[in-house]
Structures are given as C-alpha cells and as structure tokens.
Amino acid sequence: MRFAVPLEIDPTCFATWRQDNQVASMDGETMGTAWHVKLSAPADFDRRPLKAAIEARLEAILAQMSHWREDSVLGRFNRAPGGTWYALPADFALVMDAALDIAERSAGAFDPAIGALVDIWGHGPVQTTRPPDRTEIEQAMAVSGFTRLAHDRDARRLRQPGGLHLDLSGIAKGFAVDALSRLLRESCFHHALVEIGGELFGSGLRPDGDPWWVDLETPADSVIPMRVALHQLAAATSGDYVRGRHTIDPRSGLPVEHAMAVTVIHPSAMLADAWATALSVHTQGVMQALATREKLAVRALIRRGESIAEWISPALQSMLEPEDQPRG
C-alpha cells in the first residue's frame, strides 16, 4: 500500500473538530447510482432532517441536469428549436461554465455536447440493441460538439444551434458531490466524506483525528494499491473496468479502449470528475503532458497490449510519503 497526503492541513478545521463525536452514516440512491455520507456528529444526532435536505438538494440537481428526464432543464434544452436562447439556472450555469472551459483546455477530449453520440452507443435513455454503424456515428457527430454552442456567460444563457443534445454525465456527479459537501458545511457539519457513484470529497477530519482515507480504485493486480487522505480534497475516477467502455471520444465518436482507470485528485469534485474523463480520452503521451501542464494530481492505469502501465503525475508524486516515491 502507498499513501498520498495533502501538502497542507487546513488550520481552520481544528476549531470545529470534536474528539468525542461519532462517525454517522447515511445513504440513498441518485443519478442511477448510490450516494453515501459519513460525518462527524454528536451521539444524539438526528439523521432525518439532514437526510431530507440532502435528498432535496439532489432532486434539485436532477431536475436541472438529468439526461434521463425529458422535463429536466437539460431535456428541455435538447428539444428546443434551433436558434433558441435558453436561460440557465445558477447550478446549471456553473456546471456549463466549467464544462466549456475544460472542453477548451482539453482540446475537445471533454465535451458536454455529445448527447447524440452517447445515445446511439446506448449509454443514455435511448435503448439500443447493436453498436452504431459509421453512418450513424457521422450523423450524430454532425449535430454534436461544444463549438456549435453560443454561450453568454454573463447573462447565464445558452443557444441551441439545432439538434444538439447536452450530456453532463461526465461532470454532474462531481458537481453534486461538491453541492452536498457545501450543504453539510452550511448545516455546521464541517467534517465529512461524501460519495456519489465513486466520486468523493473529504472535509476536515474524522473524530479520531485521522483524515478521511480512501483507497483509489485499482483493478490491476500488478499495481500497488494507493490510499489517499482526502482532507479538503476530492477524488474522481474514469475508466472502463466497472461499466465497460462507456467513455466516448468526442473527436472520433468511438469508445475509448486504452484507459482502465484514470483518477484525479483535486480541491473540486466537479473539476476532478471532468478532468478524469478528459484525460482518459487522450492517449498516454498527450494525457501526461496535459496533466503536467494543468498541475493535476493523477494516477492513470493504461492498457499496453496485454499489460497495464501505471503513470503518476508530478503533482501526485509530491503527495506520496517519502518511502512511496517512485525511484528514478
């Protein structure tokens, strides 16, 4: 086991840390997966009001960003006539701002406007019985792509060019993790671990004084596992070892085949989520250059024929305990 720890401890967390608290747990379902919360709470903590608030917050996010609901804001935008300017709620606008920024910075490896491609590959609400052929892929690509969008950031609105389908599945879970972490802090729970479908954020400390330790998903037996201290940090993973090859390369319209698991550790779960998707799309050399340029903490497991190659970015290397540092 290797251990990665943040370079700094937030000194403000000690003002609200209580050694005599217990770790309380809550969970439920959302976004086609499960959510889990662990938090430092007093012994007489009543879960019911907080769980209701969590479920209401998640429902509000789904009402805006669900790719599966026709009546969501996203669903209505996808059906809007070409040329329509669409006003965005605050959450949706924040996610689109981040999504379009990473789309630009990743040279299109992350793209929130490939819903048509997602659908024809059977990863959305549209059921399919076979892979799409080349003509169907070309037709979907013709109406897709973030460069077709006109985005008025100041006015919080987006223009539907006609036939374009948004899909925020590569960033919405991360946003929801951040939103729940913020909700907990606003409810005076400053020490917690939030997870939605494998995307995580750890705030503060456990009652025993430890950080919120999480093990990175390591599906390859040849790779030494890694445990990360999530202290004011998020971890998000993109790969194909759980749900198959569901990540689509927006530039080719084809599933990504080389990325087994790409994990990004970042102060924002939303950005970790989107960057994990973007990096998993790029080939290894481009991925390494991009992660290094963006100073991202990344652990990537990449297929090379029958073997698995691990790459650890310089930012993550700096977080490793000295005995776990890669030897040159």
Residue with tokens 């890694």: 226
**What is the reported pLDDT for 47?**
94
| 215 labeled binding residue | no
Q: What is the pLDDT of residue 327?
A: 47
In a domain, 225, yes or no: yes
Annotated ligand binding at 277? The verdict is yes
User: Is 280 a member of any domain?
Assistant: yes
Domain tally, the chain: 1
Q: Which domain holds residue 234?
A: 2-35+198-319
Supply the DSSP string of 246-275, one letter for each residue: --B-TTTSSB--SEEEEEEEES-HHHHHHH
- Rounded-to-integer distance, Cα 299 and Cα 20, Å: 35
> CA-CA distance, 51 to 237, in Å (whole number)?
26
In order along its 328 residues, the chain shows pLDDT tens digits of 999 999 889 999 999 999 999 999 999 999 989 999 999 999 899 999 999 999 999 999 999 999 889 899 999 999 999 999 999 999 999 999 999 999 999 999 999 999 999 999 988 777 787 899 999 999 999 999 999 999 999 999 999 999 999 999 999 999 999 999 999 999 999 999 999 999 999 999 999 999 999 999 887 778 899 999 999 999 999 976 655 567 889 999 998 888 889 999 999 999 999 999 999 999 999 999 999 999 999 999 998 877 888 999 999 999 997 765 554 4
Q: Is residue 71 part of a domain?
A: no
Residue 273, marked binder: yes
Give the SS3 label for residue 157: strand
Cβ atoms of residues 249 and 279 within 8 Å: no
Question: Would you say residue 221 lies in a domain?
Answer: yes
Single-letter amino acid code for the residue at 269: A
Instruction: Find tokens 């198959």 and name the residue.
Output: 244
Phi/psi of residue 251, nearest 5 degrees: -85, -25
**The predicted structure's pLDDT at residue 125:** 78
- The CATH number for 263's domain is 3.10.520.10
Angle of helix 172-186 versus helix 47-65 axis, rounded to 10: 150
CB 179 within 8 A of CB 172: no
In a domain, 235, yes or no: yes
Assigned token pair, 206: 């456990």
| H runs (alpha helix) in 106-155 | 115-120, 134-142
pTM, two decimal places: 0.93
Tell me if 94 is assigned to some domain: no
Does residue 191 lie in a domain region? Answer: no
